[in-house]
C-alpha cells in the first residue's frame, strides 16, 4: 500500500485529472447508482432492472421484478403519464425509451400466460381492512398479502377498480384487462367485498377484529360552481357522468354537449360524450393550452376526434341552451383575468369537470383524525392518521392525484402497516445519487428511433369504446427495451476490461461484473472514460483520504 505523501497538490476535480504519477491519486470503484427513470417513478419501480431482463427476452423474470413494486403493469402501461420517460437520459440523444409500452407488453403477456407470484408466505395471523378498491387499496392489498397478512377490501361501488374503472373510459382502459389484474390480486387470498360502504371506521375495525385499517377512498365527489341559469338543460359533474356510462345508465345529454374544465377528466368526458352519441362536444376552459392541467397529448387526442376546445373562456350565465361566456386573458403571473368581452355558445347539456373531493363523512366519529382545509386527511411520516392503527393514502392525503401515485402510496402504506404490526418503523433504503446525462460516457451513438404504438384513425374512434392505442409485439418490445442506456449500473459491456492498459480489470463471470486489481492499477481513468453508463467512480486513494 502506498505511503501518504504530503508534497502532492491535488487538482480540484479528480474526475478530470489522469491521477497517475509517483503515487496513484485516484482509483476506480464500481458503483450502483439510481437511473433517472427509477427516481421519477411514483410507484417506485426498478425500471432499469426489468428492462434489462426484457431486452434479454426473459419476460417472465422481467414481470416478476416489476410486480415486486407494482401489481398492475397492464393498467399502468396504459394510463400512467410516465414521468419516467420525461426523465429518461436517452431523450437528450434521440427519444426516450418507451417504458410504458414495454411495461404494458409484460403485463398483457402475464395475463395471457397466467403468471402469478411464487413463494407466498404463510399467514402471520394479522388482519387488515382496506377501505376502497381503487389503485391505492388494491396495491396495498397485494403487498400486504405477499407479506403474509390477511386482507379484506370493502368498497361502496358495484365493481372493483375505483377511478380506474369509473373515471377512465374503456377506450383507454379496457375492462377485461383491469378485471384480469384485479383477479390476480384476489388469487392471493384477498377478499373484495363490494356494495359495502363503511360508515364507521372504528366500528368496522372492532367488529371484524382487524389489526389495522388502510383508508384508500378515491376522490369521487365532483366539485360544483354556481352559474346563473334559467331553464337550462342537464347539468352534471364529470365523475358522475363517466361512472354512469360505466354502469350502463348514462343520461341523454342531447345533440350538443359542453364540458367545463381543462383537466384530463374534462378531455375524457368530452370524448365519452361523443362516443355516447353527441354530434358536437366542446370544452370551455378559462386558461390557455400552456396553462391547462391536462397533459398535452390528452388535448391533442381530443381535438383529433373533433372536440372543439374554447380556450380562455369562462361561463357567466346560461339561458336554456344559450351560454354567455366571457373572454379571458393571461396576466403576467400566468393567471386568467376577464376582458369584459362576451361571446355566445350553444349547448344542450353541461358537464362540470372542475375537480373532485373525497367523501370524508366516515371520519366524523374517528377520534384523533384531522382533516386539512382542502378536505384531505392529515397523516404522519408513517402514513398513519391521528387514530392508532388507521392509515390513509391515495386521493385521501395531500398529493397529486394519479393512478401511479396512488399505487405507490399503497406499497408504501403496506410497508408502514407491516412494520407497525411488528412494533418497528419502516424506512426506505438509502439510494445512491441519480445518474444524469452529463455523467454518461456515450463514446458511440446508434440510430435507434423509438418505436411508436399503432392507434385507430381518429375518424374511426368515436363510434365505440374500442381501445384506441395498441400494444407492442414481442419483437418491438425487445427492440425498445434494448434502447435503455442502463444509466448508473454495469451491464457488462467489457468496455473497462478492454480499455485498461495494465490488465488491472478482471471478469468475475456473467452477472457478477468486474473487479480491480489495485496492485496493477495506475489510476489512469481509461476504464472510467470508457464506461458508457457511469458504473465506475474515480475516488481518492486511501493514502490521500
Q: Examine domains 36-115+443-476 and 233-354 and report if their fold is the same.
A: no
Topology of the domain comprising 36-115+443-476: Fumarate Reductase Iron-sulfur Protein; Chain B, domain 2 (1.10.1060)
472-531 tens-digit pLDDT: 999 999 999 999 999 999 999 999 999 999 999 999 998 899 999 999 999 999 999 999
Residue 443: how many other CB atoms lie within 10 Å: 11
Let me know how many helices (H) and strands (E) the chain has, helices first.
18, 20
Least Cα distance to 180 among 259, 103, 106, 107 occurs for 107
280-284 and 308-310 strand pairing:
parallel
Lowest mean pLDDT among 28-32, 358-362, 475-479: 358-362
The CATH code of domain 14-32+490-544 reads 3.30.70.20
Does residue 288 surpass a pLDDT of 50?
yes
Structure confidence at residue 3 (pLDDT): 34
Band of residue 20 on the pLDDT scale cut at 50, 70, 90 = low
Across residues 295-301, what is the average pLDDT?
93
Render 472-539 in DSSP notation, one character per residue.
Answer: --HHHHHHHHHT---TTS----SHHHHH-TT--EEE--TTT-EEE-TTT-----HHHHH-TT--EEEE
Structure confidence at residue 230 (pLDDT): 72
Does residue 38 surpass a pLDDT of 60?
yes
Please write down the HEC assignment for all residues of 430-490. Answer: CCCCECCHHHCCCCCCCCCCCCCCCECCHHHHCCCCCCCECCCCHHHHHHHHHCCCCCCCC
213-250 tens-digit pLDDT: 999 998 777 777 878 777 667 889 999 999 999 999 99
Give the Cα separation of 18 and 528 in Å (integer).
11
DSSP 394: G
Q: Is 375 left (phi over 0), alpha (psi -120 to 50) or beta?
A: left
Does residue 93 surpass a pLDDT of 70?
yes
270-281 tens-digit pLDDT: 999 999 999 999
Band of residue 9 on the pLDDT scale cut at 50, 70, 90 = very low
Percentage of residues of the chain with pLDDT beyond 90: 77
Structure confidence at residue 473 (pLDDT): 96
Contact yes or no for 98/451 (Cβ under 8 A): yes
Structure confidence at residue 18 (pLDDT): 58
389-431 tens-digit pLDDT: 999 999 888 788 899 999 999 999 999 999 999 999 998 877 7
CA distances from 150 to 22, 133, 138, 340, 392 (A): 65, 16, 13, 61, 18
Structure confidence at residue 477 (pLDDT): 97
CA distances from 155 to 138, 217, 229, 376 (A): 11, 9, 36, 19
Domain assignments of the chain as residue spans, ordered by start: 14-32+490-544, 36-115+443-476, 127-220+358-421, 233-354
Band of residue 445 on the pLDDT scale cut at 50, 70, 90 = low
Does residue 16 surpass a pLDDT of 70?
no
Does residue 381 surpass a pLDDT of 50?
yes
What are 86's three cell numbers? 420525461
233-354 homologous superfamily: FAD/NAD(P)-binding domain (3.50.50.60)
Structure confidence at residue 10 (pLDDT): 40
Percentage of residues of the chain with pLDDT beyond 70: 94
Please return the burial class of 269, using the count of CB atoms within 10 Å of its CB with bins 0-12, 13-18 and 19+.
buried
- pTM value is 0.90
Structure confidence at residue 545 (pLDDT): 45
Band of residue 22 on the pLDDT scale cut at 50, 70, 90 = low
Lowest mean pLDDT among 137-141, 304-308, 360-364: 360-364
CA distances from 38 to 29, 55, 207 (A): 22, 17, 41
Q: Which CATH architecture has domain 127-220+358-421?
A: 3-Layer(bba) Sandwich (3.50)
Amino acid at each position: 500500500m502506498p505511503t501518504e505523501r504530503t508534497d502532492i497538490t491535488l487538482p480540484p476535480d479528480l474526475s478530470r485529472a489522469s491521477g497517475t504519477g509517483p503515487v496513484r491519486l485516484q482509483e476506480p470503484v464500481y458503483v450502483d447508482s439510481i437511473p433517472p427513470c427509477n427516481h421519477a417513478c411514483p410507484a417506485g419501480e426498478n425500471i432499469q432492472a426489468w428492462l434489462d431482463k426484457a431486452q434479454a427476452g426473459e419476460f417472465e423474470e422481467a414481470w416478476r421484478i416489476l410486480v415486486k413494486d407494482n401489481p398492475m403493469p397492464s393498467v399502468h402501461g396504459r394510463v400512467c403519464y410516465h414521468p419516467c420517460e420525461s426523465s429518461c437520459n436517452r431523450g437528450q440523444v434521440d427519444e426516450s425509451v418507451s417504458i410504458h409500452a414495454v411495461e404494458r407488453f409484460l403485463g398483457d403477456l402475464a395475463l395471457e400466460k397466467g403468471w402469478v407470484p411464487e413463494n407466498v408466505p404463510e399467514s402471520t395471523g394479522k388482519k387488515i381492512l382496506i377501505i376502497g378498491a381503487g389503485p391505492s387499496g388494491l396495491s396495498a392489498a397485494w403487498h400486504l398479502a405477499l407479506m403474509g397478512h390477511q386482507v379484506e377490501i370493502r368498497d361502496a361501488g358495484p365493481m372493483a377498480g375505483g377511478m380506474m374503472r369509473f373515471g377512465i373510459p374503456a377506450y383507454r382502459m379496457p375492462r377485461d384487462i383491469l378485471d384480469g389484474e384485479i383477479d390476480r390480486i384476489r388469487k392471493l387470498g384477498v377478499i373484495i367485498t363490494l356494495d359495502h360502504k363503511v360508515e364507521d371506521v372504528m366500528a368496522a375495525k372492532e367488529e371484524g377484529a382487524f389489526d389495522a385499517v388502510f383508508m384508500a377512498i378515491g376522490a369521487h365527489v365532483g366539485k360544483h360552481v354556481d352559474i346563473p341559469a334559467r331553464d337550462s338543460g342537464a347539468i352534471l359533474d364529470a365523475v358522475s357522468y363517466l361512472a354512469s356510462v360505466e354502469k350502463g345508465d348514462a343520461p341523454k345529454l342531447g345533440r350538443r354537449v359542453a364540458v367545463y374544465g381543462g383537466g384530463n377528466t374534462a378531455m375524457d368526458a368530452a370524448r365519452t360524450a361523443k362516443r355516447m352519441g353527441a354530434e358536437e362536444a366542446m370544452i370551455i376552459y378559462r386558461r390557455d393550452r400552456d396553462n391547462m392541467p391536462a397533459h398535452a397529448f390528452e388535448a391533442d387526442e381530443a381535438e383529433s376526434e373533433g372536440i372543439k376546445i374554447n380556450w380562455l373562456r369562462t361561463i357567466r350565465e346560461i339561458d336554456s341552451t344559450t351560454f354567455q361566456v366571457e373572454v379571458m386573458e393571461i396576466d403576467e403571473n400566468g393567471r386568467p383575468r376577464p376582458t369584459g368581452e362576451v361571446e355566445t355558445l350553444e349547448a344542450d347539456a353541461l358537464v362540470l369537470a372542475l375537480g373532485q373531493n373525497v367523501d370524508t363523512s366516515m371520519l366524523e366519529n374517528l377520534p384523533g383524525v384531522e382533516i386539512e382545509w382542502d378536505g384531505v386527511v392529515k397523516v404522519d411520516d408513517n402514513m398513519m392518521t391521528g387514530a392508532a392503527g388507521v392509515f390513509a393514502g391515495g386521493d385521501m392525503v395531500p398529493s397529486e392525484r394519479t393512478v401511479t401515485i396512488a399505487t405507490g402510496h399503497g406499497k408504501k402504506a403496506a410497508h408502514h402497516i407491516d412494520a407497525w404490526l411488528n412494533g418497528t418503523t419502516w424506512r426506505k433504503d438509502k439510494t445512491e445519487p441519480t445518474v444524469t446525462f452529463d455523467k454518461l460516457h456515450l463514446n458511440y451513438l446508434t440510430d435507434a428511433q423509438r418505436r411508436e404504438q399503432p392507434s385507430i384513425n381518429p375518424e374511426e374512434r368515436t363510434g365505440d369504446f374500442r381501445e384506441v392505442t395498441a400494444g407492442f409485439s414481442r419483437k418491438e418490445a425487445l427492440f425498445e427495451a434494448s434502447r435503455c442506456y442502463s444509466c448508473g449500473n454495469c451491464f457488462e459491456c467489457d468496455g473497462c476490461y478492454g480499455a485498461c492498459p495494465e490488465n488491472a480489470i478482471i471478469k468475475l463471470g456473467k452477472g457478477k461484473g468486474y473487479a480491480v486489481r489495485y496492485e496493477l492499477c495506475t489510476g489512469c481513468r481509461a476504464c472510467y472514460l470508457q464506461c458508457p453508463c457511469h458504473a465506475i467512480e474515480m475516488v481518492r486513494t486511501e493514502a490521500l483520504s
